[in-house]
Amino acid sequence: MPALVPALVPHGFVFAPDIEGTVITLLEQHLLRLLQRAPALADRLVQTRWLAWPAADPQGQALHDAVARLREAFAQAAPWRDLALDAALLHLAVMLGRLLPDPAMTGDPAPAGNSRALAHVRRLRELVESGFRQQPSLATMARTMGITPTQLNRVCHQVLGHSALGVLHGRLVLEAQRDLAYTTQSIKQIGLGLGFADAGYFTRFFQRLTGHTPTAWRALVLR
């Protein structure tokens, strides 16, 4: 069963031993650049979705073939590999977009409102990406976007299923995990670099969101 998980949405995978499939991870910004000429398709693909299309179904088979085409392009080392990957990715995006229900046909009473909500979430992600180390407040981000904190939280719950601060906190945790895994910085240095004035507060924040202290998480990764 294919699934789409947007950027910064906390998630994990648990597979049964007999499951076979492909997990494709890409930068949301890269996908949006590829889909600049198709904003409606981009809006469909940046929401959490499940697709119940069996492989035996013609449309399910088309999706399976698109994934295989992307895997083949990824495995090759031929000239212009990046172009081949983008072409295969666009093909897969179109296949997914065609399988996803048209908002106009689902009985959604306010498709325009949904589009505005998606636009607000994309703008929030841009703000978080550019300034997460300064840990801007909810009020500051909402004011920059020209909406109220209540409106910002509402659209985040609508599109992402969690609060606006959840976007910021998810980005902070992601960066902390990268620093813990790929650098030799101390816990205090990592916390200071992410805007935490106190190493103890950073440790409690990280443990609350991940279930592990930074030290324990680093040990698990290294192991």
Question: What span, in angstroms and rounded, lies between the C-alpha atoms of 64 and 4?
Answer: 15
Please tell me what DSSP assigns to residue 37.
T
pLDDT value at residue 105: 44
pLDDT tens digits along 39-55: 888 877 877 777 765 55
Domain that holds residue 197: 167-222
Same domain as 128, residue 98: no
Q: Is 193 exposed, middle or buried (0-12, 13-18, 19+ CB in 10 A)?
A: middle
Instruction: Check residue 209 and give its pLDDT.
Output: 92
User: Do residues 125 and 204 share a domain?
Assistant: no
Low-confidence ranges of the chain (pLDDT < 50): 104-112
Identify which of 152, 144, 129 has the alpha carbon closest to the alpha carbon of residue 7: 129
| Claim to verify: residue 26 and residue 81 sit in the same structural domain | yes
| Vertex 89 angle, CA 85 and 93, to 5° | 175
Assess whether 26 and 92 both reside in one domain: yes
Question: Is residue 69 located within the same domain as residue 17?
Answer: yes
Same domain, 158 and 178: no
> How much is the pLDDT for 76?
87
202 membership: H or E segment, kind and range: helix 199-210
Neighbours of 23 (CB within 10 A): 8
pLDDT of residue 2: 72
| Count of domains forming the chain | 3
Same domain as 215, residue 155? no
Spatial CB neighbours of 202, under 8 Å, sequence gap ≥ 6: 176, 187, 188, 190, 191, 194, 196, 214
156, 174: one domain: no
pLDDT for res 11? 62
**CATH number of the domain within which 203 lies:** 1.10.10.60
The structure tokens listed for 154 are 């509402």
